[in-house]
Amino acid sequence: MDADVVIAGAGPTGLMLACELRLAGIQPVVLERLAVPTGLSKALGLIGRAVDTLDYRGLLGRFEDRAAVAIPHAAHFALIPLDLTKAGDLGLRGVLIQQAATEEILNSRAQELGVQIRRGCELTALTQDADGVRLQFTGPDGDGTLHARYLVGCDGGASTVRQQAGIDFPGLPPASLLRLGDVTLEPGVTPADLPDLRVPVIPLGEGFYRVITVEPYSAETDRRSPMTLAELRTSIRRVNGRDLPISGTRWVSRFTDASRQAANYRAGRVLVAGDAAHVHLPAGGPGLNTGLQDAVNLGWKLAAQIHGWAAPGLLDSYHRERHAEGEQVLLHTRAQGALTLTAADGRTAALREIIAQLLQYQQPLRHLIGLMYGLDTRYDTGTADPHPLAGRWAPNLALTGPGGATSVAELLHSGHGVLLDLTPDGGFARAGHGWQDRIDIRTAQCPSPPAAALLIRPDGYVAWAATTDTQDTGTLHDALVTWFGTPTADATPQTRPRY
């Protein structure tokens, strides 16, 4: 066996997954088709639960250092501005950071953790056997092969991994063709000097602006032909009614509003994540945010499977949990496409006006924000009468422990699960002794704790919570077995690798 896990694709999802696997003691091999990163950015920001995830891994500061500006107040639904002050305290956070910078940060983190990244290597074929996946690739030194226990496709919407694994990709075909250009304007010209624009002109910094046009999709469009600045200029002229004073460009591209999702996120020993699992209109940048969440959900489960302590069905829960979340992303991006890409007649304008009115009220606004940014995610914990926190994102409680002040976020920096006992006598902590090789067990005090104890999964979601300090260790035991396997006799924290 050459590797425990091969990851196809060194975009944000693939790099995040590689980091998660290393934190869990697995050494992945990442194959990336491009010899060097493009330095170009489709996504322009991170928002919602993905930001919280980076915080819980201790990485958010790196992103904030590279961010242009905080963006919570730039939230919108189908370009209808969302007044977040009317939603109450949702804890929504965002940073405006171009995808290229996100990839640089995650690549640097992967290198710190010792991840092996092979650039200029493109996966071409794969076959599965009883022990793993045999894959073929082309690289700088010619053709090569690898045999891995598992293969994860993080290789984009046209995923070779997904196609080779025979995973269906049902959904809606494109109805609109969008052309994008990161351009410079003629000296001295700014968007303010261009009245009555019918195309968005978004400042990116360093003198560049993003221009996007939308036109009906034609089956005669040759998507394989290289996109050119001349094609973008022609499209701008049709949509805008006049030329824009563009002086140059660093990137032009096409994309559509096609909306598809993998029928299964797992086929044997092959899994898919990120754009390989779901494609949609990039309304608000949900693809990158969802891909990072896919990676963090999958990483610890795949590592548990390889280490041999995963409970039956744990790895399959990746599909169950993340496919449902992908469906929600397709739901709201399809709705936004219908409101922004269809003919701008009186019917569409009336519908937009009604929705804008509804979004002035707190409950519709909170519902929509939760849907769009992953704040309403609740995973099924398999219990009949779960605690209100069970299955939800663990709140970032301020804690005081034996070592001084800390927080839930800091406890999760290691990428391990956490059993957090907030009772005076620490009885719940003692009940977790047999899992010390898989989770961190902590006792702490917390002002106004929302629960007596919390079992937090490595991805930041609560697997179990105790309503009172009554020592209900039976339900805790069941939760530990469900999510962290059977206990190990005389397990000690030292048996777990740390990075």
Give the DSSP letter string of 83-99. Answer: -GGGS------EEE--H
What is the C-alpha separation between 301 and 315, in angstroms, rounded? 5
Q: What is the DSSP secondary structure assignment for residue 175, as one 8-state letter?
A: -
**Residues spanned by CATH 3.50.50.60 within the chain?**
3-171+260-372
Lowest mean pLDDT among 140-154, 160-174, 198-212: 198-212
pLDDT of residue 490: 60
pTM: 0.94
pLDDT band at 205 (very low <50, low <70, confident <90, very high): confident
pLDDT at 471: 61
Higher-confidence residue of 285 and 69: namely: 285
What proportion of the chain, given as a percentage, has pLDDT over 90? 79
Q: What mean pLDDT, rounded, does the chain reach?
A: 92
Predicted pLDDT at 499: 40
Evaluate if residue 85 carries a pLDDT over 80. Answer: yes
Location of each CATH 3.30.70.2450 domain in the chain: 176-256
pLDDT of residue 314: 98
Residue 157 CB partners (closer than 8 Å, separation 6+): 260, 275, 276, 279
What pLDDT score was predicted for residue 219? Answer: 84
Give the Cα separation of 304 and 296 in Å (integer). 13
CA distance 413 to 19: 12
pLDDT(113) > 80: yes
Digit-coded pLDDT (tens) for 86-100: 999 999 999 989 899
Residue 433 has what pLDDT? Answer: 92
What's the pLDDT score for residue 18?
98
pLDDT for 495 equals 40
The answer to whether 137 and 122 have CB atoms below 8 angstroms apart is yes
Instruction: Lowest mean pLDDT of 198-202, 261-265, 451-455, name the range.
Output: 198-202
> Pick from 414, 418, 474: which is nearest to 24 by CA?
414
The burial class, CB within 10 Å (0-12 / 13-18 / 19+), for 71 is buried
Query: What is the rounded average pLDDT of the residues 311-323?
Result: 97
pLDDT in tens, 5-23: 999 999 999 999 999 999 9
Q: What is the pLDDT of residues 117-132, one digit of tens each?
A: 999 999 999 999 889 9
- pLDDT exceeds 90 at position 488: no
Report the range out of 244-253, 319-328, 340-349 with the highest average pLDDT: 319-328
CATH for 176-256 is 3.30.70.2450
- For residue 494, pLDDT over 60 is answered with no
Q: Report yes or no: 368 and 284 within 8 Å, Cβ to Cβ.
A: no
3-171+260-372: CATH topology: FAD/NAD(P)-binding domain (3.50.50)
Q: Report how far Cα 291 is from the mean position of its chain's Cα atoms.
A: 3
Distance CA 185, CA 264 (A): 45
User: Treating both helix axes as pointing N-terminal to C-terminal, what angle do 286-307 and 49-56 enclose, rounded to 10 degrees?
Assistant: 40
Q: How far is CA 89 from CA 355, 366, 370, 436, in A?
A: 22, 10, 12, 36
Give the side-chain half-sphere CA count within 13 A for 2. 15
pLDDT at 323 over 60: yes
What's the confidence (pLDDT) of residue 496? 45
Q: Is residue 319 very low, low, confident or very high in pLDDT (cuts 50, 70, 90)?
A: very high
Q: Above 70 in pLDDT, residue 470?
A: no
Task: State which CATH number among 3.90.70.10, 3.20.20.140, 3.40.30.120, 3.40.190.10 fits the domain covering 398-495.
Answer: 3.40.30.120
pLDDT at position 71 is 44
Instruction: Enumerate the CATH 3.40.30.120 domain ranges in the chain, comma separated.
Output: 398-495
